[in-house]
């Protein structure tokens, strides 16, 4: 089995992203239009007529390609709706990238959207098909809360040390979000606020959990050789991989809750395509799926940024701070943006795109050359994972 680079390299030439908010007065249609207008409007002499094909990712805000075709008034265009748990936005991007790399189209657009705040649900919304009754019936906080005690037991750290690392993740990401006017939560928080927040599941309090928001994002992709026709600062897709787990982890005793094997595989394949042999040293910044604070701890090791059993210490030492060796979630992550399912993956791409073009303002990572976007869906033991490596040099 092999996961290879595409025959034609792919470049992102434009992106758009709405603020992630409680958009009570905007529909999913409105959010898509706003994201697409920002995306297309950043290019000169490009209109929607120039885009050959479209993808839209959403879990519950639409059922077909008309989710995008209708608000954009597209005529005679192929529009595909995709869904892949919380990696839905990344799935739209992945399919669009393959389409333009294959030579089938010259210019494509990937979009993602979700309206959660007026869905009548207090958390993420999903309609599951009938099952055989063997599914594990737990909430997302309950499932992800198992990461912390498993990590402690595996590496011999006590609850106080794990709590400190989890708290640092929340404090860091909210501080980053406070500098981002697109974030849902734009206020720094103290360690005391995090640790005294109401308990949700296991060691997780409210401030260990990402929020619920509405949002949309969009990207225009072309083949790399054509990129400079549209912009003098394209961002290149250096490698990407997607893995869907079998779900066997939830059906067997002894599952290792200190790792997401789907992430490990996806990262290895994306790095191989990108020529990355030492991600801890070669990657300039990363956007990762910090749905819960212990998730980010585990992901630092699955992505090869920290050695096994060292992520908690590296986090406390500031390695992933904005001025650290490898800044993580410079835009604020899910902790500051919330998680509109169809848009999150593309929101991560948007931050990488902005950083690699040197346009991140007060959040700018100096000399950023390679960025990782990592998107996770599902739950420990049964998840899907996407990893992409983006760069500003071909």
Give the pLDDT confidence score for residue 253 in this predicted structure: 83
Give the pLDDT confidence score for residue 133 in this predicted structure: 73
Token pair listed for 315: 């986090």
Give the pLDDT confidence score for residue 331 in this predicted structure: 98
What backbone phi and psi angles, to 5 degrees, belong to 221?
-120, 145
Q: What's this model's pTM, rounded to 2 decimal places?
A: 0.96
Give the pLDDT confidence score for residue 242 in this predicted structure: 98
Give the pLDDT confidence score for residue 7 in this predicted structure: 65
Question: Closest by alpha carbon to 303, among 322, 273, 328?
Answer: 328
Q: Please check whether residues 158 and 173 belong to one and the same domain.
A: yes
Q: Please check whether residues 352 and 276 belong to one and the same domain.
A: yes
Q: Please check whether residues 200 and 218 belong to one and the same domain.
A: no
What backbone phi and psi angles, to 5 degrees, belong to 165?
-65, -45
Q: Please check whether residues 321 and 344 belong to one and the same domain.
A: yes
Q: Please check whether residues 241 and 231 belong to one and the same domain.
A: no
User: What pLDDT tens digit does each residue of the chain (394 aa) get?
Assistant: 567 777 689 999 999 999 999 999 999 999 999 999 999 999 999 999 999 999 999 998 999 999 999 999 999 999 999 999 999 999 999 999 999 999 999 999 999 999 998 766 655 656 667 777 777 778 899 999 999 999 999 999 999 999 999 999 999 999 999 999 999 999 999 999 999 999 999 999 999 999 999 999 999 999 999 999 999 999 999 999 999 999 888 877 889 999 999 999 999 999 999 999 999 999 999 999 999 999 999 999 999 999 999 999 999 999 999 999 999 999 999 999 999 999 999 999 999 999 999 999 999 999 999 999 999 999 999 999 999 999 999 8
Give the pLDDT confidence score for residue 137 in this predicted structure: 74
What backbone phi and psi angles, to 5 degrees, belong to 382?
-160, 80
Supply the range of the domain harboring residue 221.
Answer: 10-117+214-236
Strands 215-223 and 10-17: antiparallel
Q: Please check whether residues 173 and 39 belong to one and the same domain.
A: no
Q: Please check whether residues 179 and 65 belong to one and the same domain.
A: no
Residue 48: inside a domain, yes or no? Answer: yes
- The CATH number given to whatever domain includes residue 110 is 3.40.47.10
What amino acid positions are annotated as catalytic residues? 86, 339
What backbone phi and psi angles, to 5 degrees, belong to 181?
-75, -5
Domain count, the chain: 2
Helix (H) or strand (E) holding 217: strand 215-223
């Amino acid at each position: 089995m092999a996961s290879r680079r595409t025959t034609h390299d792919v470049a992102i030439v434009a992106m758009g992203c709405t603020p992630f908010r409680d958009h009570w007065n905007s529909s999913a249609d409105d959010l898509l239009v706003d994201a697409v207008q920002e995306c297309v409007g950043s290019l000169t002499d490009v209109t929607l007529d120039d885009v050959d094909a479209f993808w839209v990712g959403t879990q519950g805000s639409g059922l077909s390609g008309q989710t995008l075709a209708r608000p954009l008034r597209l005529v005679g265009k192929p529009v595909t709706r995709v869904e892949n748990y919380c990696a839905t936005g990344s799935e739209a991007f992945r399919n669009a990238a393959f389409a333009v790399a294959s030579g089938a189209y010259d210019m494509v657009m990937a979009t993602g959207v979700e309206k959660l705040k007026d869905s009548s649900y207090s958390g993420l919304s999903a309609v599951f098909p009938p099952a055989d009754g063997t599914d594990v019936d737990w909430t997302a906080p309950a499932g992800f809360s198992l990461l912390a005690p498993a990590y402690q037991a595996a590496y011999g750290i006590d609850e106080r040390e794990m709590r400190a690392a989890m708290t640092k993740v929340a404090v860091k990401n909210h501080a980053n979000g406070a500098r981002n006017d697109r974030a849902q939560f734009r206020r720094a928080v103290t360690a005391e606020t995090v640790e005294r927040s109401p308990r949700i599941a296991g060691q997780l309090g409210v401030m260990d959990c990402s929020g619920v928001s509405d949002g949309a994002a969009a990207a225009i992709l072309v083949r790399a050789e054509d990129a400079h026709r549209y912009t003098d600062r394209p961002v290149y897709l250096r490698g990407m991989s997607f893995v869907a787990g079998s779900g066997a982890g939830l059906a067997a005793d002894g599952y290792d809750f200190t790792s997401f094997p789907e992430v490990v595989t996806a990262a290895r394949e994306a790095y191989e395509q990108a020529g990355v042999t030492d991600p801890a040293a070669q990657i300039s910044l990363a956007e990762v799926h910090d749905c819960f604070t212990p998730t980010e701890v585990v992901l630092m090791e699955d992505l090869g940024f920290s050695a096994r059993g060292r992520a908690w210490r590296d986090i406390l030492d500031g390695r992933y701070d904005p001025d650290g060796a490898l800044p993580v979630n410079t835009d604020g992550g899910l902790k500051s943006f919330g998680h509109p399912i169809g848009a999150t993956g593309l929101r991560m791409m948007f931050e990488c795109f902005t950083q690699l073009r040197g346009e991140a303002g007060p959040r700018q990572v100096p000399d950023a050359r390679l960025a990782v976007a990592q998107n996770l869906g599902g739950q420990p033991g049964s998840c899907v994972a996407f990893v992409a490596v983006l760069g500003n040099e071909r």
